[in-house]
Every structure is written in C-alpha cells, then in structure tokens.
Amino acid sequence: MQYQNEISHQLARRQTLRQFRAGLVQKDTICDAEFILVTASKYHGHLADYPCPICGSEDLRVVLWVYGDEIGRAAGSARSEEEIEQLVKNGRQATVHTVEVCPTCKWNHLLKAETATAS
C-alpha cells in the first residue's frame, strides 16, 4: 500500500493552539471530540509519542479514519493500517484522515488527509 496526495493540517493545528494559548479560543470550543471519536481512538488508535497539547495527558492517541465510495460500508470508520491495506487492494482507493484525539480533555484535530492505494 502507498499513500499519495497528502494534505497537511499542521499549520491550522499550530494556529488553533496559538489562539488557545493567547486566550482567543475557549477550551470547550476546541475540546469537543464526540463519543464515537474518543472510543475509536481507544480501540483503533495508537498512543502518540507526545503529550496532549491542551491538558498534557500522556494518553493522546492517533487514529485513522477511512472514507471513499470504493470501500463500501467501511467508509466513515476507524481502521488499522492492515485493514486499510485490505480495503484498497485490487485497485481501490480510500481517503485516510489521521486524527489526534485526547480521551482526557476531548481535544481532537485532523493532522493530515491522504489517499491510500494498492502498491
């Protein structure tokens, strides 16, 4: 499997964090992860190698969400790298969103979006 057409959302993340630290954005505005996202991050995500930028929790997780017409009912769900590889075999492709999620304070942010295709 390979990834292509990466769109990074790191600039928007940094801007949001700057605004939060400057008091221009309230915590409840940016710490709004829905139950399904938090739950998916616990079961399908992996621990980030850095703490939550909002509360400092070491439980910050990174989860992959897949989207696309070619993957049928799997679209709109959290998946592992191995599952994504199976979904895109035989020439199919899917958009993969990499999202960081803090189960402690509910911070969440899209880190990048990219297209997964068979190698």
The 10s digit of each residue's pLDDT in 73-105 is 999 999 999 999 999 998 899 999 999 999 999
pLDDT band, very low/low/confident/very high, at 11 (cuts 50, 70, 90): very high
| Strand pairing class (93-101; 77-78) | unpaired
CB atoms near residue 18 (< 10 Å): 11
The C-alpha atoms of residue 16 and residue 10 are separated, in whole angstroms, by: 10
Query: Region 29-46: what's the mean pLDDT?
Result: 96
Give 3-state DSSP helix, strand, coil % of the chain, rounded to 5.
35, 30, 35
Residue-wise pLDDT for 54-67, tens only, equals: 999 999 999 999 99
Torsion angle of C-alpha atoms 96, 49, 104, 115, degrees rounded to 10: 0
Q: What is the pLDDT of residue 119?
A: 83
Q: What is the pLDDT of residue 91?
A: 85
Query: Region 10-30: what's the mean pLDDT?
Result: 97
Q: What is the domain extent for residue 94?
A: 2-117
Tell me the pLDDT of the chain averaged across its residues: 96
Count: domains in the chain: 1
